[in-house]
Structure formats: structure tokens, C-alpha cells
A and B are shown apart, each in its own frame.
Chain A
Amino acid sequence: MSEFKLKTPLSEGDVDKLEVGDIVYLSGEIYTARDRAHKRAIELYESGEELPFDWNGAVIFHCGPVVIERNGNWEVVSAGPTTSSRMNDLEPKVIEYFGVRGIIGKGGMNGGTTEAMNKHKCVYFSITGGAGVLVAQAVKRVKGVYWEDLGMPEAVWVFSVEDLGPLVVTISKGRNYYLEVEKKVLSVKENLLKRWIK
């Protein structure tokens, strides 16, 4: 378990050195995106249109933040992660089409996404669920917002972050830590039943 401080956009080399269990603190720009932003990005790409932002090497954050406008500036109040599995069907395309190198979320993603990540050099970072203020404090500035018509939680917010973390690398190089924990839990289930249910 090593610790890294990384800057976005991430390079292939950055992704190469990360192993499951590593702890990362991230600085630079990150992009929030939930179901609807994923969908729109894919639709634009497939109809040959350009995205209004550059996701090459980008880190996407599965998050629907609470943001307020104060004196003409955006201020992030609370911005914890949302459940990543909702993006399972959309993420492989987003990774392939745009060259996204990192996904931040909670709860992990499925085997299909794990494969796409391995193929296109992308990692998944887990951030503590509910830790809304921890993230908000790491956001130094809101650099912009796209697709506001999708509503506050579904819009794409560009956060400039400093030492966002601790992020735990949980999907990397074909390994999926969540699926490993799940397998382990299921393997002890029979013993637990024997022990606790006489």
C-alpha cells in the first residue's frame, strides 16, 4: 500500500504505477458527472459532435453536489460521492470515447467496467461515502459548470481541487477490490450461519 500525490490530467504512466490498495491525494481539475451527463456525452460523441470540455486524461467524479451562488461565485457546500454502479452501463463507452483516466465514486463498478478500465488504462478511486465536507474543503474553486439544464446534481461541475483524498485505488489493472471483498464475504457466510445459528 503506497501513497501518491497526483496531478490531473493523469498520464498513462500515472495510471501504470497505481495498484489496488494504494492511497492517492489528487490535485487539479475534476469533473462531476452522473447518469445524465454520461448519457449526453455519449450521445454527442455518437452523433459526431464535440464535448464542450476535454476529457482526455480527465478524472470524473460521480457526485451530485450542493452548490450555492454567493456574490456571483459558486461555492461548494457539500459534495460526497454517489453510488457508482448506476453508471455501470455507460462508463465503458465514456472511458473508450474520451480517454478518461480516473473515476472517483463509491461502491465500485462491475466487471464490464473493470475490463474497459484495464483495456484503456483507467483507474477507479473510492472516496468515503457521505464525506461531503471533506470533499468541499478540498475544492478551492469552481472553475465552471456545463449542462446546467440537467439540474444542479446532474450538471457537469468543474472543480479545482487540492489534495482531494484519501482516495483508495480499488479497480486497477483488471483487479476489482470490491468483487474480491464480496467473494471473501460469501465464502465465510456458511461458517457464520453454523456459528450463530445453532
Chain B
Amino acid sequence: MELSEIEEIGVELLRRAVTRLPEDVKESLKRALSEEESEIGRTQLEAILKNVEMAEKSGKPMCQDTGVPLFFLRVGKEFPVGIEEIKSALVNSVRRGTKEIPLRPNVVDPMSRENTGDNSGRKMPYFDVEIVDGDSLEITFMPKGAGSENMSFLGMLSPSKGVNGIKEFVLEKVIEAGGKPCPPTIIGIGIGGTADLAMKLAKRSLLRPLNEDHNDERIRELEREIAEMVNSTGIGPMGLGGKFTCLGVRMDFASTHTATLPVAINFQCWAARRSYALIEKDGVRRVLP
């Protein structure tokens, strides 16, 4: 496995992510269109699906906000390339991809607001690294747009509020967000842990496809309940009224302090872009979508 191969696959992951939606998201959008009762809501879902099809065919980014680059790595202990080398190859992928695809240069200094021009910067792209058994490398890429990221919320609830408190907090924030995160959204929710861990869980939950169940029955039940509650608000596609305010809820949890109940919410817009590559020590096995 050469570094240049990792850089190449990185550019390919960027390209695929911004031009093609994952199958599970596309399927959910189609189902939403077939079940949406609001006429205006349907016009929005139709426009979204048409836009997705055009992006796929023309190879152009489906949304002009091509986000900030986030990489989630699962590195096998016996994978022949070191983590720092993998990271530097992917930084190059981001710089090259920004010009070649092209992506909108979104990454700026948070104080001077000066744009680096190539979507790299201090601690950007962001890397979430997990060391796992085996000799393969899994890369998931998520470009995260600002419209949905600006709708992030953290609540340090009183433990006595319990599961009802979690639901109430989510409903409150969904109503506050309204049409801003470009609904129908996927709502990532992290509960427990510490403040930062809860937010991390919320973000990472967005990586789990809409057709893949959590292994904890209580989480599955809560995801279903919250999705149904959110889709009873009437906010609808793009906040123009209707049934489909969300495509689904993705949740995860961590054990927490007896005196706290962190709840973090991280919205993902309908353009829920993510791409994935499985790389084994002798070459690339699989790339999605």
C-alpha cells in the first residue's frame, strides 16, 4: 500500500461524497416523497431528488456548501501504513480535491476569518481515529455543511428529567431549528458520557445508515418515538409545512456520571453526504457510494 494510493482514494472519497448520496438516504427521500401529504412539501422533495439525480449525472456537487472535511478512520493494528502518514496523505487529498472537483473553499481562521483557499487548516481536516484489530483501514468521509452544523445543541439535563427530558429537549430544539438545517434532516443524538463525548456520539451516529439498527432495544425504541414526534410538528420539507421534518433519528449513548444527563444534538441536512472505503494491505477492496 503506497501513500499515493491513499491520497488518490481520498480524492475519490471527496468526489463521491459531494456528488452522490448514499443509497439509504436516497431511499428515505423517495419514501418521504411517496408519503408526504403537503403539496408544497412534495414540490421540495421532488426538487431535492431531481437535484440529486442531476448531481450524480453531471458529477457536480449536489450542494454549493461542500462543507468542512471530516474523516473517521478505523485503523487496523497491523495495517502497514502509520496513522500520521495516513493523515498527511488525506490532507493532500483535501487540498487537491478542493481544486480538482472543485469544492467551495470553506475553511477559515475562526478569528481573522481568513480563508486558506484549500479547505485545510489548523486541525482541519478533522480526524476521528479508532485503533482496531486486523490489518485493514476503513475511511469514512463526511463533508459537513454549516446550515445544519449551526443547529447543534448541548443540554446538561438534570438526571431526574430522565428519558422524557431527552424527548422534550429534542422537540424544543427541532422547533427552534425549524427550516434552517434544510429538512428533512437526520437528527444525530448522543446521550450520556461527558459534554464533549455526547456531542461526539451525536456526530458519529450520523454515520450509521438509516437502514441499520442500533443493537440496544431501548435506543431503537427511542429513535422511532422521537422520529414520529418530530414528524408530527408540521415543520416539513425545508420548513414549508408537511409531514417529513426528519428522515430518521440516529442515536448512541455512553455511561455517564450519576449526577448528570448530557444530551447532544447534531443535525444533518437532507444532503446527508458520506463516503466509505475499505482498504486492505494489498489494495482497495470497496468504495461506497
| Given A128-B238, A130-B51, residue A193 in contact with residue B62 (CB < 8 A) | no
| Given A130-B48, A188-B232, residue A197 in contact with residue B63 (CB < 8 A) | no
Bound CA span A126–B237, Å: 12
* A192 and B51 form a contact (CB under 8 A): no
Residue B43 is within 8 A (CB to CB) of chain A in the complex: yes
* B64 and A79 form a contact (CB under 8 A): yes
Cβ contacts under 8 Å, A63 to chain B:
64
Q: Which interface residue of A66, A186, A195 has the most chain B CB atoms within 10 A?
A: A66
Bound CA span A71–B43, Å: 36
* A126 and B233 form a contact (CB under 8 A): no
Q: Which of chain A's residues has its CB closest to B101's CB?
A: A77
Q: Which of B164, B178, B233, B234 contacts A197 (CB 8 A)?
A: B164
Distance in Å from the Cβ of A33 to the closest Cβ of chain B? Answer: 15
Cβ contacts under 8 Å, B54 to chain A:
133-134, 137
Bound CA span A142–B103, Å: 19
* B239 and A107 form a contact (CB under 8 A): yes
* B182 and A181 form a contact (CB under 8 A): no
Q: Which of B65, B102, B180 contacts A80 (CB 8 A)?
A: B65
Residue A64 is within 8 A (CB to CB) of chain B in the complex: yes
Bound CA span A79–B168, Å: 36
Q: Size class of A's contact patch? A: 35 or more
Cβ contacts under 8 Å, A196 to chain B:
167, 171, 225, 228-229
Residues of chain B at interface, number, CB under 8 A: 48
Residue B248 is within 8 A (CB to CB) of chain A in the complex: no
Bound CA span A168–B102, Å: 30
Q: Which of chain B's residues has its CB closest to A136's CB?
A: B60
* A193 and B171 form a contact (CB under 8 A): yes
* B239 and A78 form a contact (CB under 8 A): no
| Given A128-B238, A134-B51, residue A192 in contact with residue B233 (CB < 8 A) | yes
Cβ contacts under 8 Å, B50 to chain A:
134
Distance in Å from the Cβ of B22 to the closest Cβ of chain A? Answer: 15
Residue B28 is within 8 A (CB to CB) of chain A in the complex: no
Q: Which of A152-198 contact B (CB under 8 A)?
A: 153, 166, 168, 170, 177-178, 181-182, 184-186, 188-189, 192-193, 195-198
Residue A57 is within 8 A (CB to CB) of chain B in the complex: no
Cβ contacts under 8 Å, B228 to chain A:
196
Bound CA span A183–B236, Å: 14
* A77 and B147 form a contact (CB under 8 A): no
Distance in Å from the Cβ of B28 to the closest Cβ of chain A? Answer: 15
| Given A129-B182, A131-B48, A133-B55, residue A185 in contact with residue B62 (CB < 8 A) | no
Residue B160 is within 8 A (CB to CB) of chain A in the complex: no
* B238 and A126 form a contact (CB under 8 A): yes
Cβ contacts under 8 Å, A56 to chain B:
none
Bound CA span A3–B234, Å: 24
CB 8 Å contact bits of B168-211 with A (1 = contact, 0 = none): 10010001001110100000000000000000000000000000
Residue A73 is within 8 A (CB to CB) of chain B in the complex: no
* B63 and A80 form a contact (CB under 8 A): yes
Bound CA span A178–B43, Å: 16
Leading 10 A-B pairs by shortest Cβ distance: A78-B64, A130-B63, A128-B47, A129-B182, A132-B64, A131-B51, A134-B51, A133-B54, A197-B164, A196-B229
Chain B residues with a Cβ under 8 A of chain A:
39-40, 43-44, 46-48, 50-51, 54-55, 58, 60-66, 102-104, 145, 147, 164, 167-168, 171, 175, 178-180, 182, 225, 228-229, 232-236, 238-241, 269-271
25 CB < 8 A contacts A-B: A1-B40, A21-B40, A63-B64, A65-B64, A66-B102, A78-B66, A107-B179, A108-B239, A126-B238, A126-B240, A128-B47, A129-B238, A130-B62, A133-B51, A133-B55, A170-B240, A177-B241, A178-B239, A184-B241, A185-B178, A185-B235, A188-B233, A192-B233, A193-B171, A196-B171
